[in-house]
Amino acid sequence: MEAKLHELKTRLLEIDDLSRAGAVLNWDQSTYMPPGGAEARARQMSTLGRLAHEKFTDPAIGKLLDDLRAYGESLPYESDDASLIRVTRREYERSTQIPSTLVAELSNHASTTYQAWTEARPDNDFNRLRPMLEKTLDLSRQYAECFPGYEHIADPLIDFSDFGMKASSVRQVFADLRQALVPLVQAITSQEVVDDSCLKQFYPEDQQKAFGEMVIKRYGYDFNRGRQDKTHHPFETKLSLGDVRITTRFQDHDLGDGLFSTLHESGHAMYEQGVSPALEGTPLANGTSAGVHESQSRLWENVVGRSRGFWEHFYPQLQMTFPEQLGKVSLDTFYRAINKVQRSLIRVDADEVTYNLHVMIRFDLELQMLEGSLSIRDLPEAWQARYESDLGMAAPDDRNGVLQDVHWYGGIIGGVFQGYTLGNVMSGLFYSHALQAHPEIPAEIAQGEFSTLHAWMKNNIYQHGSKFTAPELLERVTGGPLRIEPYIQYLQGKYGEIYKL
């Protein structure tokens, strides 16, 4: 068994090397690569991806997993080796169940569609994308059909990013959340609109960057095992556990954009930096699901980074960094500005309170498309109708409507949006448990001190990588399934105070 386990780990390490090399190429493409490199880079990344996929779906891996199954089950469930055998088997079965021809077809189709979307969105031309999107829907259904026995056709697709969740369980969470959010949004938006002009002054980029990096260093993001660079669409990427990078962007006249993007990505990165080194080079050395990953980015961006305590400590430093812009702006004015709530059309610019309504619209439309009750032809109209009924606004055009998010135009339809809201809900839940264990955390945050909170997250969540599924992790950490109450209480408490509800 020792020898077989060793062989499995050796093979997985080689596959991981190929995947991480692909991640380096991808990072470089999004940061420093000159445009002339695009064509060769696409080919190089696809070669590495294909090699990694071939090696992972090699029947020899299946044989090793079969031989190791009984051994794995004889070990304690949470041991590294038992988890490795269990999780690798799950991913192996998933990868071998999808024909490689379908993988290749979807990957080619996704890159063609993405290219077309980059031009069609500025041109506001949904019709040009319609035939492509129809094919995406067809391929997405074929993908789901590779996993028969589902309850809802979206379930296998939800599994890809949030393993263990189903359309029915997500629907239930979303319905409960909606009941609490709609009255809160109504109460807030019936009040006078908050003035956030203090954030829209000229802010030199170098100082924005230095301030954000000072904050995330204090959070515990380790620059010896990471770095931050500029890109168009911020992201976090793991090149190894010793090299977890983030990217951000800055706008001269919007202080919040760059700063909160840095805080957000640092949360994703601290999760990956906190994975136990013993898991390096295996499928366990990743965050466990889209939802849990997003819980960490949202925690450090919003629950901590937009809290009053946080700014009681950091605002004087921000004022010293930008004396002309903020010298005469009070902490209260600034705090209200960074927490401004308003009905809006664009998901990525939405505030904490309305954000989840944007996600629910997309999730519901995805389910309807997969079920066949909504055709691609009718999608733009359905989108508009939902924005009018849910947010009381209609987009002036598709560019600010159905064309705004890349997800459907660069991948599959189904399972790609729920993780954002699950992450928000989990951020409130995990934070409430950290507070139960350490009631001193808010006072520490107000001193610019984050080590207790960071250590709690690391011990309870980060170190395990993907040993546990999200439902298993929730059970271990919170003693039960996903609950929305702590998140709702967090929102009601914070915004009730800001808006004096």
Contact residues: Zn ion, CB under 5 A: 297
Alpha carbons 16 and 204: distance in angstroms, whole number: 40
Report the residue number, 83 or 297, with the smaller CB distance to Zn ion.
297
Report the residue number, 234 or 283, with the smaller CB distance to Zn ion.
234
277, burial (CB in 10 Å: exposed 0-12, middle 13-18, buried 19+): exposed
Q: How far is the CB of 247 from Zn ion (least distance, A)?
A: 12
Report the residue number, 287 or 401, with the smaller CB distance to Zn ion.
287
Report the residue number, 217 or 233, with the smaller CB distance to Zn ion.
233
Residue with tokens 């799950």: 90
**Residue 149 region by backbone torsions, left for phi larger than 0, else alpha for psi between -120 and 50, else beta:** left
Report the residue number, 322 or 355, with the smaller CB distance to Zn ion.
355
Give the pair of three-digit tokens for residue 263: 């805080």
Q: How far is the CB of 297 from Zn ion (least distance, A)?
A: 4
| Residues ≥6 apart with Cβ < 8 Å to 361 | 383, 386, 387, 390
3-state class (DSSP) for residue 417: coil
Q: How far is the CB of 354 from Zn ion (least distance, A)?
A: 17
Q: How far is the CB of 162 from Zn ion (least distance, A)?
A: 14
The alpha carbon torsion through 402, 128, 98, 166 (nearest 10 deg) reads 20
Helix, strand, coil share of the chain (percent; to 5)? 70, 5, 25
- ∠ CA(218), CA(311), CA(318), 5° rounding? 75
Report the residue number, 250 or 499, with the smaller CB distance to Zn ion.
250
Residue among 109, 106, 56 at smallest CA distance from 283: 56
Q: Which residue is nearest to Zn ion (CB)?
A: 297
265 is a catalytic site residue: yes
* Phi, psi at 499, each rounded to 5°: -100, 10
3-state class (DSSP) for residue 409: helix
Q: How far is the CB of 461 from Zn ion (least distance, A)?
A: 15
* Phi, psi at 124, each rounded to 5°: 60, 40
Q: How far is the CB of 294 from Zn ion (least distance, A)?
A: 5
List 2, 14, 105, 265, catalytic entry: 265
Question: Which of the residues are catalytic?
Answer: 265
